[in-house]
Amino acid sequence: MRDHRVNPVDAVWLNMDRPQNLMVIESLMFLDGPVDRERLEQVVRTRLLDLYPVFSRRPVPGRGRWGRARWRDVGELDLSRHVREVRLPAPGDDAALQAYVGGFLATPLPRDRPLWDIHLIEGLAEGSAIFVRLHHALADGIALTQVLFSLTDLSSEGDRDGSFHPDGRHHLLSEVVQAARRVAPEVPQLLRPARVRAGMLTGVRLGLSGVGVLKKLLITRNPESAVAGIAGREKRAVWSSPMPLQRVKDIAAHSGATVNDVLVSALAGALASYQLEHGGRAVDLPTMIPVNLRPLHVPLPRELGNRFALVMLILPSGPGSSVARLAETKRRMDAIKASPEPVITFSLILAIGRLGNRLNRSLVAFFAGKVTGVTTNVPGPREERYLAGTRISGLLGWVPGSGDQTLGTCIFTYAGTVRIGFKTDTAVIPDPERLLAAFHAEIEALESTAASAAS
């Protein structure tokens, strides 16, 4: 079996699994009906295994104190070890599906095989679901989202009619990646290590901007709040019903903000309400947001890897009105987009990856402890898509937290709808349903304000 080098950034995520927070990206697809397993496996073979070699490699630990981890080819991959079929007990409602998903959030992916799993879930009151688990060491969440969308088609026969071609897979995702430019700041050039180092020096030379970023990364702390604490192993996942995206667009248009600003502001408001409901005072809360570092006009490489940075956003979850909160969210997001923070944070991740495991763990814990968790806003396709012939009705996906982070937030837009999902640590946030209710209440408050101003 041939071995392959694990690059330093991927090695950070490969070695970062902890009992209280695993480095696993979880994705959930809601479908209108059952999925034909044989048909799905053919799609997986031709569009995943044949195109991206890392899905056919298992991790091998390094030898000795300074040994580097490697990927090892597994030869002919046995899909029965990666694709499982389950049937939920009646009534097969959202609560049953949430309990099933939550039961795996603390389960490590076996390391004697490639680091991914697909669960075909039947027995739902409506349709079926597919739960996908992918280790962060394979690639970043932005790239893996594109990979998952490449398994889908615009028609129910798209996987059979010969319209899919490997060289054209990027064009299937052009709408998704174009939308991504509007969600988070993008570094438009491929960052080789030499360019990263040069970029970091350039960022520092920017004077107050670069110094301000470094100060923010080093000094910011996660304040005491109802969503901060010592993370345990037990997790929960909850999500909302789909909401019309047009509602959010109308609020954004009235406020001079972006759709992303409105959704992140609603999250900040939900966290403010949650803190007050649980007997504390409302304080601003820091979260990490992933930022793409790949050129969006270039197809994904066969060797995927992690090419992203994390920027720190201080959510305005302190006292204030929903309108003031939205304005402040926009101001803070605009400041991040104009700063060198993505280049600086990627440089830190690269540097950490080149250190020994002990220093690696200490630095990761230091930075992880500064925020409540990770927030992602994924702009999915505007048109409905099909997986192995079955229509997809909705999507969600969570990237992992680390250290004692307790809250993962996923906002996912798809086919004119938006859903929000929370992944929480039950030792600290046992009732994430309250966050869902507060999020929708904040959207309604912003919507009411916009309607009053328009009348």
**Separation CA 386–CA 119 (nearest Å):** 17
Which stretches of 293-340 are DSSP H helices?
322-337
pLDDT digits (tens, 9 = 90+) for 123-133: 999 999 999 99
Kindly indicate the confidence band of residue 436, based on its pLDDT and cuts at 50, 70 and 90. Answer: very high
Determine the Cα angle at 247 with ends 243 and 250, to 5°.
160
What 8-state DSSP symbol labels residue 222? -
CA distance 317 to 276: 10
State residue 49 phi and psi, 5-degree precision: -65, -40
Q: Report which of residues 345 and 163 the model is more confident about.
A: 163
Give pLDDT, residue 187: 42
State in Å, rounded, how far the first CA of the chain is from the last one. Answer: 70
Task: Locate all alpha helices (DSSP H) within 45-192, ordered by sequence.
Answer: 94-102, 141-149, 169-172, 174-183
Residue type, 387: L
Stretch 265-287: mean pLDDT, rounded? 95
Q: How many CB atoms lie within 10 A of CB 305?
A: 19
DSSP assignments along 160-216, one per residue: TSS---GGGHHHHTHHHHHHHHHHS----S---HHHHHHHHHHHHHTTHHHHHHHHH
Q: Are β-strands 70-73 and 128-135 bridged in parallel, bridged antiparallel, or unpaired?
A: unpaired
pLDDT at 51: 94
What distance in Å separates the CA atoms of residue 371 and residue 403, rounded to the nearest whole number?
Answer: 10
The answer to whether residues 439 and 263 touch, using CB atoms and an 8 Å cutoff, is no
* 1.25.40.10, 3.30.450.20, 3.40.50.2300, 3.30.559.30: CATH of 3-454: 3.30.559.30
Extents of the domains making up the chain: 3-454
Is the link from the previous residue into 91 a cis peptide, with omega within 30 of 0?
yes
The mean pLDDT of the chain is 85
Q: What's the one-letter identity of residue 431? A: D
- Decide if pLDDT at 350 tops 80: no
Residue 40, token pair as written in the block: 């799905």
d(CA 289, CA 311): 5
Q: Is 337 exposed, middle or buried (0-12, 13-18, 19+ CB in 10 A)?
A: middle
Q: pLDDT of 374-406, one tens digit each? A: 999 988 899 999 999 999 999 999 999 988 999
Tokens found for residue 284: 């601003």
Residue 30 and residue 92 in contact, taking contact as beta carbons nearer than 8 Å: no
The strands making up 24-31's β-sheet, listed across from edge to edge, are 83-87, 116-122, 128-135, 24-31, 390-398, 386-387
The packing angle between helices 259-277 and 245-255, to 10°, is 100
Give dist(CA 94, CA 126) in Å, integer. Answer: 10
Could you tell me the two tokens for 57?
């490699």
Question: Is the model's pLDDT at 17 over the cut of 70?
Answer: yes
**Minimum mean pLDDT range among 241-255, 306-320, 432-446:** 306-320
Among residues 1, 147, 137, 187, the alpha carbon closest in space to that of 76 is found at 1
Determine how many CB atoms are found less than 10 A away from the CB of residue 38: 7
Name every residue whose Cβ is closer than 8 Å to that of residue 316 and which is 6 or more positions away in sequence.
Answer: 265, 268, 284, 325, 328, 329, 332
Mean pLDDT for the stretch of residues 116-139: 96
> Distance between CA atoms of 19 and 408, rounded to whole angstroms?
16
How large is the average pLDDT for residues 426-444?
96
- Using CA atoms, how far apart are residues 388 and 85, in angstroms rounded to an integer? 15
Q: Judge whether 14 and 69 are in contact, CB under 8 Å.
A: yes
Given a cut of 60, is residue 46 above it in pLDDT? yes
Please give the Cα distance from 4 to 54 (Å, whole number). 10
Tokens describing residue 65: 């104190």
Q: Per the structure block, which two tokens stand in for 287? A: 């979260």
- Give the pLDDT score at 406: 95
304-321 confidence digits (pLDDT tens): 998 887 888 999 999 889
Dist CA 320 CA 293 (whole Å):
34
Q: How far apart are CA 201 and CA 293, in angstroms?
A: 17
